[in-house]
């Protein structure tokens, strides 16, 4: 018998969100971003579920690309962080991995390689994490164009810093800088566009967009929930009530004794905590649900359990399943209460929580 703390993953919802991205992307192709273990949903299962839909996958590092190949999938896999060693180049060439090169060292590795993979160049249009400055791009491409490997050059990639905020002037600036910088090479493909860019009216997405969070039902937009954006929740995080009791007015609950009952309160303990990846920054007031009713956390989240106020669900009993996020409570709501974003919550669920997959289409 499992501990029955579990993350249900709805693969139909995932596919539906992918299709929504395609609709929003218009004529742009859409590569599914499945890094960080498929944003915490399980890279193998997520990639398999999307294999019939997406022409390419994108991941952070080569280990993740290997996981996709080990699953038997044959789509090209874009490595958003490029490669880490000289020998990675050969492995990329042999396996259909497409590194996004962003540093002189990586160019040198490409230059010395005997067989080259399809590859991309990262342009730093203002994020200032990775990529070549626009003013250096001519030199970079000039240097590469002398190589045989240049026949495998796919195109240019850039990434937005503030697309979650429609008011920010930064996205338009980055788009313009990217457009100007890549103008001299009209034959190369262009890839911009995290999830947020799909929701910005009039935003150009060029040849390939790269949505991540929206596939998993999380909102990419500041102040909006995934549900409000028409996305379907994919992960439903559940844990059982392991005890219920009445705490008396004046008694405190949990570490630090920070929550004190102002009246006799029926409370429950739920078998999930930050050791499972539930955020410790959530606490009193964060919503959860039981039997379809919304309830709230009280006190501090512990490593293996957390406390809830059951005033709103007096019928709840030991063994009932509490939804920490999913359909009744959006992951974006919990993220807001924890002072973070759904991305961190989803990727943070630890290995102690088994993932359980649901899919009508393959049932």
210 binding partner (options ligand PDD, its own copies, none; Cβ < 5 to 8 Å by kind): ligand PDD
DSSP character string of 263-296: S-EEEEEES--GGGT--TT--TT-EEEETTEEEE
Q: Determine which residue in the list 7, 25, 32, 33 makes contact with ligand PDD, applying CB under 6 A.
A: 33
Q: How far is the CB of 182 from ligand PDD (least distance, A)?
A: 16
Does residue 88 interact with its own copies by CB under 8 A?
yes
Determine how β-strand 189-191 pairs with β-strand 355-358. Answer: unpaired
Instruction: Answer yes or no: 317 catalytic.
Output: no
Q: How far is the CB of 194 from ligand PDD (least distance, A)?
A: 3
Give the integer Cα–Cα distance in Å for 161 and 164.
8
Give the integer Cα–Cα distance in Å for 345 and 219.
12
Q: How far is the CB of 302 from ligand PDD (least distance, A)?
A: 3
Q: Which range touches its own copies (CB under 8 A), out of 16-24, 109-117, 139-147, 157-165?
A: 157-165
Q: How far is C-alpha 261 from the chain's CA centre? A: 37
3 binding partner (options ligand PDD, its own copies, none; Cβ < 5 to 8 Å by kind): its own copies
The one catalytic residue in 18, 20, 122, 255 is 255
> Nearer Cβ to ligand PDD, position 274 or 325?
274
Torsion of CA 239, 243, 247, 251, to 10 degrees: -70
Q: Which H or E element spans position 91?
A: helix 88-95
Give the bridge partners for 289, in sequence order: 294, 323
Q: Determine which residue in the list 54, 171, 182, 195 makes contact with ligand PDD, applying CB under 6 A.
A: 195
Per the listing, tokens 């791009």 go with: 137
Q: Using an 8 Å Cβ cutoff, are 62 and 97 in contact? A: yes
**Annotated binding site, which residues?**
129, 303
Catalytic residues: 35, 255
Residues that bind ligand PDD in the complex, under the rule CB under 6 A: 33, 80, 159, 194-196, 210-214, 220, 302-304, 343
């Amino acid at each position: 018998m499992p501990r029955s703390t579990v993350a249900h993953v709805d693969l139909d919802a995932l596919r539906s969100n992918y299709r929504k991205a395609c609709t929003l992307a218009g004529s742009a192709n859409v590569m599914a971003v499945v890094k960080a273990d498929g944003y915490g949903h399980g890279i193998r299962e997520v990639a398999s579920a999307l294999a019939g839909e997406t022409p390419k996958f994108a991941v952070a590092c080569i280990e993740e690309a290997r996981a996709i190949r080990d699953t038997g999938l044959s789509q090209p896999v874009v490595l958003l962080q490029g490669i880490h060693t000289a020998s990675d180049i050969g492995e990329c060439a042999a396996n259909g991995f497409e590194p996004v090169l962003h540093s002189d060292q990586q160019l040198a590795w490409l230059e010395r390689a005997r067989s080259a993979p399809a590859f991309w160049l990262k342009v730093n249009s203002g994020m200032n994490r990775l990529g070549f400055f626009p003013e250096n791009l001519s030199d970079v491409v000039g240097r590469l164009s002398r190589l045989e490997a240049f026949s495998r050059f796919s195109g240019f990639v850039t990434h937005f810093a503030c697309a979650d905020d429609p008011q920010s002037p930064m996205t338009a600036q980055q788009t313009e800088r990217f457009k100007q910088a890549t103008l001299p090479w009209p034959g190369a493909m262009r890839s911009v566009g995290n999830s947020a860019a799909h929701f910005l009216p009039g935003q150009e997405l060029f040849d390939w967009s790269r949505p991540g969070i929206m596939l998993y039902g999380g909102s990419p937009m500041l102040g909006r929930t995934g549900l409000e954006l028409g996305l379907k929740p994919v992960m439903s995080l559940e844990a059982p009530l392991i005890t219920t009791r009445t705490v008396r007015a004046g008694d405190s609950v949990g570490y630090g004794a920070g929550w004190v009952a102002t009246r006799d309160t029926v409370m429950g303990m739920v078998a999930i905590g930050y050791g499972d990846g539930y955020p410790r920054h959530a606490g009193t007031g964060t919503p959860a649900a039981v039997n379809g009713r919304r309830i709230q956390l009280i006190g501090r989240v512990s490593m293996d359990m957390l406390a809830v106020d059951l005033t709103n669900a007096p019928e709840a009993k030991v063994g009932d399943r509490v939804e920490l996020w999913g359909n009744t409570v959006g992951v974006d709501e919990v993220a807001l209460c924890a002072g973070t974003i759904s991305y961190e919550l989803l990727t943070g669920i630890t290995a102690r929580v088994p993932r359980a997959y649901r899919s009508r289409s393959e049932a």
